[in-house]
Amino acid sequence: MYTKILLSAVIVTSSLSADLLIDAKKAGLKPIPTDKKELSKLIDNPKNPISEKKVELGKKLYFDPRLSKSGFISCNSCHNLSEGGDDGIPAAIGHMWTPNPHHLNSPTVYNSVFFNSQFWDGRDPHLEAQAQGPMQAAPEMSATPEHVAAVVTSMPQYVADFKAAYGKDVKITFEKIADTIATFERTLVTPSVYDDFLNGKKDALTKAQKDGLKTFIDKGCATCHNGIALGGEMNAFNITGVYKFQDVGDFKGDKNGMVKVPTLRNITQTAPYFHNGQIWELRDAIKEMGRIQLGADINDVEVASIEEFLKALDGRKEPVVLPQLPASTQTTPKPDIK
């Protein structure tokens, strides 16, 4: 009798998991593939194919503060790979301790390869183009393309690394440097138990996480947070209400008022939330999104359920080992803090 009851429970659980998988697929939710070849097709750039040498070189450049005007700020300063891939503060801090003039929060770099739009206003579709922006932005790294190229070409080891990665006839330009950083960023993918579940492992999620996924879908959250990235597309903002901190900063979206939907992957590690980083608690962000995007008063039980699901999006990260950077030479541009 006990065996029959147990078997019946297993059948019911399997059926519920199957139904949830169907609902997730209908809602546009997609997992990070487990097959390496399939994943490579998604993250690679045919115009600049990923290679181990390019990735290692891009990692050095990502962590090198000398690319900035001050010699103090690296890509990792605002997109810290030791935690959520962001900086954990409301507005990004850049050159001369300048807060972002639009009070914009640093998005995570993890899984950004899956975003169809980069930057909050979506002005660049590709990581290669995005990588050029912060290096040149006055309130960020505040460097010129000439400075960045001069820094890299001043060090024999970097020159040798570029030749090893691209061939002996490579021309080291600002664009090539940005492309190489982007190549490294393309590999920053963090699959989670959520992906395991969508890829067919029925017991990857706890019952509470499965219930939370169902609540997430039923309440309409997947309308914007879908695809592999659970975000990364442009969408209208303030649809059914006005964000209560809308006046903090002057950001209004792109020319059509559209704003990039932030990824929910590793969301428990990327507070504060929203484009201007004004909400610190995930439960508060869920309620506010329900109010201004769905016109829904998400109750405390539903909020807790969704939050439990979001915990399943904490991804598995490769250990980050700091690279050893080449030594500066007499021709390396000196830091400028003016």
Residue spans per domain, the chain: 19-34+191-311, 39-185
User: How many residues would you count in the chain?
Assistant: 338
Could you confirm whether 140 is annotated as catalytic? Answer: yes
The phi and psi torsions of 124 (rounded to 5 degrees) equal -125, 135
Residue ranges of the chain whose pLDDT lies below 50: 8-10
Q: Provide the β-strand partners of residue 98.
A: 94
The answer to whether 141 is annotated as binding is no
Is the four-CA dihedral 72, 74, 79, 85 of positive or negative sign? Answer: negative
**Which residues lie below 8 Å from residue 241, measured CB to CB, with a gap of 6+?**
291, 292, 295
**Which residues lie below 8 Å from residue 144, measured CB to CB, with a gap of 6+?**
69, 136
The answer to whether 289 is annotated as binding is yes
pLDDT at 13: 53
Q: What is the CATH number of domain 39-185?
A: 1.10.760.10
Distance from C-alpha of 112 to C-alpha of 126, rounded to nearest angstrom: 9
Crossing angle for the helix pair 207-218 and 2-26, nearest 10 degrees?
Answer: 30
Helix (H, G, I), strand (E, B) or coil at 227: strand
pLDDT at 11: 53
Q: What is the pLDDT of residues 208-232, one digit of tens each?
A: 999 999 999 999 999 999 999 999 9
C-alpha angle 225-108-288 in degrees, rounded to nearest 5: 45
Distance from C-alpha of 250 to C-alpha of 335, rounded to nearest angstrom: 31
In CATH terms, the fold of domain 19-34+191-311 is: Cytochrome Bc1 Complex; Chain D, domain 2 (1.10.760)
The answer to whether 126 is annotated as binding is no
Query: What is the CA 171 to chain-centroid distance, rounded?
Result: 30
Catalytic residue among 140, 185, 302, 308: 140
pTM: 0.94
The answer to whether 155 is annotated as binding is no
pLDDT at 9: 45
- Same fold across 19-34+191-311 and 39-185: yes
C-alpha angle 276-222-275 in degrees, rounded to nearest 5: 5
Say if residues 48 and 242 touch (Cβ distance below 8 Å): no
The phi and psi torsions of 118 (rounded to 5 degrees) equal -110, 155
Say if residues 104 and 249 touch (Cβ distance below 8 Å): yes
261 burial (CB, 10 Å; 0-12 / 13-18 / 19+) is buried
